[in-house]
C-alpha cells in the first residue's frame, strides 16, 4: 500500500499545479484516498479517529499564535512607510559611493526582513521603490533586479521569520518522533527560539556575502554600478536616527526578548505587534480605514496559513495510514552514502518542489515526512531546520519558476525584461549555494549561538 501513498503525494502535487486551492486539495484528496482505501480494504478507518485530536492540537498550539501576530506586525510596518524612509535615508548616505545604492538596498532588505518577515511584500515594496531609482542612476537591469530579489527574500531566514515559526513547530514534533522511534522516551525538545538563534548568524552571513559580491562587482565592472553624485543631498544625524531607530528598537525588543529568554516567541510577537502599532501612530499613518486594511490583510494571510495546516494534517494522517512514512524511511536509509546521500536527496527534492509549491505547503507537507527520518540518523534539528529554510529561500530565487522573480516581474517597468531578471539573480543563487556548502562544512555556525544561549 506504500504505492498508494506515493500516488496520493503525486495527485496532490498535480492538483496544486493545476491551480486548485491548497488547503482543500490537501484535505480533500487525502479524504478521497482514505475513503477508497476503506472501501477496498487497504486502509484502516481507525486512523481517521485521530483527526479530531490533531485539529484540536492545532487550535490549542500556543506557538502558532505567533503567526498572526508577526503577520500583523509586518503588514503594519509595511503601511507605516518604514521601507520608504529607510531606503531614502540609506541611499542618500551611501549613494555617492560606487555600488552604494545596491548596498543600501541590501541593508534595507535585511532590516525589513528582521521587522516584517513577509517575503512577497518585501520584494514588491523594494521593486516599486528602488528599481526605478537604480535604473535612473545607471545600474544595469540585471544587477538591480538580482539585488532586489535576493535582499527581498532575506525574510525567509532572518528572524522573526514566519517560516521559522512554522518550521520550529514542525521540527519540534519531528524531533520528538525521531527520538521515540529510537527508544528515547524522555525526548529533548527544540523550539522556535532555538531556530531564531540558529538563523541569526547564517542570515547575517548571507548579507555579508551579498554585500561582498556587490562591492566586488563595483570594482571589477564599474560601468554596471556607477557612483551617484549626491550634490546638496546630505543626511543629518537626526534624519538617520529618525529612520533607523524605530525599526531597530522593535527588532531588538522582539529578538532580544526571545534570545535573552525573557519571552516566548508568541509573547514577543505580541510585543512586536504593539510596537508596530506605536510606530505607525508616531508616523501618522494609522487612520481607522488603514487599521481595517491591516486587520483584513492579517486575517486573510493567517486564515490561509491555518487552513493549509489543517489540510496538511489530514494529508499526513492518510499518508502515514498507507505506510508512506515507512516507505520514505526505507528509501532514504537504503541510499548509498548514508546520511549524506539522504540529506542531499531530500534537499534536492525540496529545492525542486520550491519551484511549484509555496514554502508553507512544503513546511507542512514535506518536512513532517522526511524530517523524522533524517533526525533519527543523528542530524542536529536546529541545523537541519536552518538548512531547509535557506534551501527554500534559494528555490524562491532560482529561474525559471522562483516566486520572487514573479513578484518583481509584476511591478518592474516594461523596459526590464524577464531575461534580465533571470540573469540578475543567477549570481545570488550561487551565493545561496555557497552559503549552504559553508553551513554543511561548518555546522557550528548554526549551532553555536543556540548552544551558548540555551545550552
The pLDDT tens digits for 266-311 are 898 898 899 889 888 887 767 888 889 889 988 988 888 888 888 8
**Secondary-structure percent of the chain, ordered helix, strand, coil, rounded to 5:** 80, 0, 20
Q: Is 354 helix (H, G, I), strand (E, B) or coil?
A: coil
Q: What is the pLDDT of residue 118?
A: 67
Q: What is the pLDDT of residue 280?
A: 86
Half-sphere exposure of 214 (CA within 13 A, CB side): 32
Q: How many separate domains does the chain show?
A: 1
Which among 201, 194, 190, 223 has a CA at the least distance from the CA of 157? 201
Q: What is the pLDDT of residue 429?
A: 93
User: Can you give the pTM of this predicted structure?
Assistant: 0.86
Q: How many CB atoms lie within 10 A of CB 141?
A: 21
Q: What is the pLDDT of residue 289?
A: 87
Percent of the chain residues topping a pLDDT of 90: 22
Q: Dump pLDDT digits (tens) for 339-378.
A: 899 999 999 988 888 877 778 888 888 888 899 989 988 8
Q: Contact at 8 Å (CB) between 341 and 147?
A: no
Q: What is the pLDDT of residue 313?
A: 86
Domain that holds residue 286: 2-454
- Return d(Cα 441, Cα 448) in angstroms, integer: 14
Q: What is the pLDDT of residue 390?
A: 93
Q: Is 43 helix (H, G, I), strand (E, B) or coil?
A: coil
Q: Dump pLDDT digits (tens) for 186-200.
A: 778 888 889 999 999
- Return d(Cα 265, Cα 257) in angstroms, integer: 8
Give 111's pLDDT tier (boundaries 50, 70, 90): confident
Give 91's pLDDT tier (boundaries 50, 70, 90): confident
Q: What is the pLDDT of residue 285?
A: 67
Q: What is the pLDDT of residue 228?
A: 63
Integer CA distances (angstroms), 289 to 44, 118, 295, in order: 52, 22, 10
357 φ, ψ (degrees, to nearest 5) = -115, 150
Half-sphere exposure of 365 (CA within 13 A, CB side): 29
- Return d(Cα 444, Cα 212) in angstroms, integer: 22
**Cα 373 → chain centroid:** 23
Amino acid at each position: 500500500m506504500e504505492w498508494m501513498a506515493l500516488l496520493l503525494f503525486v495527485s496532490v502535487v498535480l492538483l496544486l499545479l493545476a491551480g486548485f486551492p491548497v488547503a482543500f486539495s490537501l484535505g480533500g484528496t487525502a479524504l478521497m484516498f482514505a475513503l477508497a482505501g476503506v472501501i477496498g480494504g487497504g486502509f484502516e478507518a481507525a486512523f481517521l479517529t485521530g483527526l479530531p485530536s490533531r485539529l484540536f492540537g492545532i487550535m490549542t498550539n500556543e506557538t502558532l499564535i505567533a503567526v498572526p501576530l508577526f503577520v500583523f506586525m509586518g503588514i503594519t510596518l509595511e503601511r507605516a512607510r518604514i521601507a520608504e524612509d529607510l531606503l531614502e535615508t540609506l541611499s542618500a548616505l551611501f549613494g555617492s559611493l560606487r555600488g552604494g545604492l545596491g548596498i543600501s538596498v541590501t541593508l534595507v532588505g535585511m532590516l525589513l526582513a528582521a521587522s516584517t518577515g513577509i517575503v512577497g511584500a518585501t520584494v514588491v515594496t523594494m521593486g516599486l521603490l528602488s528599481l526605478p531609482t537604480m535604473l535612473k542612476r545607471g545600474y544595469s537591469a540585471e544587477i538591480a533586479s538580482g539585488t532586489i530579489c535576493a535582499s527581498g527574500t532575506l525574510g525567509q531566514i532572518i528572524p522573526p521569520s514566519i517560516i521559522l515559526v512554522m518550521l520550529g513547530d514542525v521540527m519540534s514534533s519531528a524531533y520528538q518522533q525521531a527520538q521515540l522511534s529510537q527508544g528515547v522516551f524522555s525526548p529533548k525538545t527544540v523550539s522556535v527560539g532555538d531556530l531564531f538563534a540558529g538563523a541569526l548568524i547564517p542570515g547575517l552571513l548571507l548579507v555579508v556575502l551579498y554585500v561582498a559580491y556587490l562591492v566586488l562587482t563595483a570594482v571589477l565592472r564599474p560601468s554596471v554600478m556607477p557612483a551617484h553624485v549626491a550634490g546638496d543631498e546630505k543626511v543629518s544625524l537626526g534624519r538617520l536616527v529618525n529612520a533607523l531607530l524605530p525599526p531597530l528598537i522593535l527588532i531588538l525588543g522582539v529578538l532580544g526578548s526571545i534570545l535573552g529568554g525573557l519571552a516566548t516567541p508568541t509573547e514577543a510577537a505580541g510585543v512586536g505587534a504593539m510596537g508596530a502599532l506605536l510606530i505607525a501612530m508616531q508616523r501618522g499613518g494609522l487612520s481607522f480605514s488603514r487599521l481595517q486594511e491591516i486587520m483584513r490583510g492579517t486575517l486573510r494571510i493567517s486564515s490561509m496559513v491555518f487552513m493549509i495546516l489543517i489540510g496538511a494534517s489530514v494529508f499526513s494522517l492518510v499518508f502515514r495510514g498507507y505506510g508512506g512514512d515507512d516507505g520514505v524511511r526505507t528509501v532514504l536509509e537504503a541510499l548509498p552514502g548514508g546520511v549524506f546521500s539522504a540529506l542531499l536527496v531530500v534537499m534536492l527534492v525540496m529545492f525542486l518542489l520550491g519551484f511549484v509549491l509555496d514554502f508553507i505547503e512544503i513546511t507542512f507537507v514535506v518536512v513532517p515526512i522526511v524530517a523524522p527520518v533524517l533526525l533519527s540518523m543523528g542530524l542536529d534539528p536546529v541545523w537541519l531546520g536552518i538548512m531547509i529554510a535557506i534551501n527554500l529561500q534559494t528555490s524562491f530565487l532560482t529561474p525559471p519558476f522562483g516566486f520572487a522573480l514573479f513578484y518583481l516581474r509584476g511591478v518592474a517597468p516594461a523596459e526590464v525584461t524577464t531575461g534580465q531578471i533571470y540573469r540578475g539573480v543567477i549570481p545570488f543563487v550561487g551565493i545561496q549555494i555557497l552559503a549552504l556548502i559553508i553551513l554543511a562544512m561548518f555546522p557550528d555556525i548554526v549551532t553555536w549561538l543556540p548552544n551558548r544561549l540555551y545550552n
